[in-house]
Structure 1
């Protein structure tokens, strides 16, 4: 009976992988099919949430899937509204709170939401309550709100380790579709498309390289973690490791460095945590895997470097397509940061108002670029209230950790949030949702909360 259940789970996972590989191919052949797929996904998860008893796991599973699918849905023009991904994540989390409530200890995130309100009133005075006001507010608040609700739902909540890994798998499945789609988009033309050392939409599925790089980088980290904590089924493990290499390769080809650097730092921290908390035998296994990873990484790098005619090297060495050194390694982000600092000095108490930083850039720099840094945006648009909100976001998870909450993924996931919002703001749902996952406490033995999983148990068990 137990063997049948295990086989069923393996078969379901294989079917999920095969389905998402097929979805990637179908999206390339007939892109509008993804638009029809989106409502099917929403209905599927709503039905699961209603029917399944384990609401907590189902809510996180649904939110994780949407988080992983958001950029894929955007690049295939499948979403009616640009921020639909964040709205759905918020909706599923609210669904979970309706059924399971939330911990009283999560009150800091309710305060965080309240601290965002003054910025709305300031914006009302400058933008006027019309369509422009509504779209501007929702565009700029959807990210912080998705983070806040993820924090409220996850703070103080416990989840068994196996279920947590399944939630990470849910995030990976749509990334498999996106990887296939990106491979097929302009396939066989890498050398022709890699003609500059700038971020390359043509090699990013025709979409924003920054967002694609961020999500592929997150996928690389999750699958690297599963390389160290392997899937029990060898076929599934082999397929997932293939996509680990594929995602790493395509992340490099976006020519967007942010997602790649963040993935490397996350993997480094996770390796240190696993290595420092396991026994001698496990350390030996991790060492061998690490050596293999380094070999494959260098292989991917040099292959991509040759394929792009050296352009990739120029990008990471901060050179232009002719090999000349660029003055600004931040690609203009430093100028935006300084302008936002000036905005904070102009209005340090209430800030300049939500959505105003873009017009402030135009006034100061002569270009109406949106912010790339959520931290500086909070200061400039929300003033001292933004500062207090950031204090909550930084210290609430740290306090939770010091209170004994166990989560082997805590530091890399929190780092993903901090670094991603620093180079890409909160344009996608991933930083907020991943922040929420870092707040979970991991338990062992099929949800028996009296046995909290230790980091030493995590590696051998999988």
Structure 2
């Protein structure tokens, strides 16, 4: 198992190098991933179908950002569509729970916003592109939730799914180190840094790196069978954390910290005394590693990262808006809800409104306010489904000890990055899985008479 794990990590480090140095390789990687998982899903045994579908989707979630930054996909939203495609494959093979009907309602409630958009969107705008851009994320969430709801998987399978999520993040991290080996050379202030993010959106890069931080932290605590693997996991956690911090986009890093604490608190109080002692010891090692990571990050950024997280500019003056303009967007979208409370302004309606009033495209950062402004009262119902349906399931089944961490990721991410990438939607679905624990097999010696 150790050899397999190490070979997977090394293979994905090599992939990062090939993506950086070989121009045609990103496209080859993208189509290779699709073909590989399609074959795996089709030929997997029936009892392994669910796990393989979720592995395929998890891998696409982890790889989505590097596909985007290297123009590897067929189009910008490719990963979301192929995640939906793979899940529909899974639905065909495995079906869905009849208890997942609220998420069917969630999908149906999006239809009026499309109708409103078709009436209101300017003739010069592309209805298909605008609507698809804002609704692909919520649709991905709804489909993921329908498929995952109450699906039974065991602990080993869950850890494998999380690993498939993290492996392409290793590739992304390798690419980032090759793209900007020296952070000091690309610094200009305390704003989000595109150069340190592979020339791509720091918010998206930070978000997916935060997921990598969480997975390798989980592996460090509960999935390291030997000292060597424990060391490998903490090194990967450190490298991914460093690259996440120096994007200067705080959302992904803070979300990862919240996820880790949610996971550790839950696991700690559900553990035996012996396990608690191991968790405490490992936690101190994690704290020491975190201090080292921050010290190196501060040194490499000449102290600018300290100012960034203290909400200061490069001269040390405190910024007036800690939300970096997100709060103004949030209240602006609430005004859209107040103006048209019944069916909202329609899908992508607030984007069109900002083009008219500001003369430029300003994407929303908050999915909650977007749901209200673009869907009206139906948006409130959709939010209630998203928040209370998982809690209702949790009240009846408390075995998924990743539940709170995964739900924290979804909620925190949609509040700072909306649903630009597939991650929050798919991770929300994983929180709805029914985690089973394998009973250890008992060997009984046959009595000789």
Shorter chain as normaliser: what TM range?
over 0.9
Cα separation, 2, equivalents of 1:190 and 1:446: 49
Runs of 4+ in 1 over 6 A off after TM superposition: 128-131
C-alpha contact (below 8 Å) 1:219/1:247 kept by paired residues:
yes
The one of 300, 320, 328 equivalent to 2:313 is 320
Residues 144 and 211 (structure 1), Cα distance of their counterparts in 2 relative to 1, 3 Å cut:
same
Match of 2:201 in 1: 208
* 1:215-248 CA-partner distances (Å, limit 9, x unpaired): 1111101111111103225444432321111001
Are 1:159 and 1:447, in contact at CA under 8 Å, matched by a contact in 2?
Answer: no
1:161 aligns with 2:181: no
Match of 1:28 among 12, 17, 20: 20
In the alignment, does 2:271 pair up with 1:278?
Answer: yes
- 2:170 equivalent in structure 1: 176
Alignment of 1:6-405 (within 5 A): 9-53=1-45, 54-127=48-121, 132-187=126-181, 189-364=182-357, 367-405=360-398
SS in 1 for 2:435: strand
1:416 is aligned to 2:409: yes
> Which runs of 5 or more structure 1 residues have no equivalent in the other structure?
1-8, 449-462
Q: Are the counterparts in 1 of residues 364 and 370 from structure 2 also a CA contact under 8 Å?
A: yes
Q: Distance in 1 between matches of 2:227 and 2:37?
A: 28
Q: How many angstroms apart in 2 are the aligned matches of 1:230 and 1:60?
A: 19
2:446 equivalent in structure 1: none
Partners in 2 of 1:229 and 1:281 — Cα distance?
13
Residue 447 of structure 1 deviates from its aligned partner by 11
Instruction: Determine the C-alpha separation between the residues in 2 that align with 1:311 and 1:31.
Output: 34
User: When the two structures are aligned, how many residues end up with a matched partner?
Assistant: 439
Secondary structure of 1:442's match? strand
SS where residue 435 of structure 1 aligns?
helix
Three-state SS of the structure 2 residue aligned to 1:425 is: coil
Counterparts of 1:319 and 1:361, CA distance in 2: 28
Q: Quote the residue 1:457 is aligned against.
A: none
Residue 453 of structure 1 corresponds to which residue in structure 2?
none
**Displacement, 1:272?**
0.9
Q: Shift in Å at residue 445 of structure 1?
A: 1.5
**Quick check: 1:339–1:364 contact (8 Å CA) kept in 2?**
no
8 Å Cα contact 1:356/1:381 also seen in 2: yes
Normalised by the length of structure 1, the TM-score is 0.92
Q: What does the per-residue CA deviation read over 1:84-105, in whole Å, with 9 as the maximum and x for residues that have no partner?
A: 0101110110000011110100
User: CA 1:90/1:129 → structure 2, altered by over 3 Å: closer, same or farther?
Assistant: farther
Shift of 1:428: 0.4
Measure how far apart 1:283 and its partner are: 1.2
| Cα separation, partners in 2 of 1:63 and 1:201, compared to 1, 3 Å | same
Question: Cα RMSD over matched residues?
Answer: 1.7
Q: Given that residues 343 and 376 in structure 2 are in contact (C-alpha distance below 8 angstroms), is that contact kept between their aligned partners in structure 1?
A: yes
Distance 2:400 2:223 in 1: 18
Mapped contact 2:61–2:165 kept (Cα < 8 A):
yes
Deviation of residue 363 (structure 1)? 4.4
Q: 1:390 to 1:257 in 2, by over 3 A?
A: same
What is the deviation of 1:277? Answer: 1.2
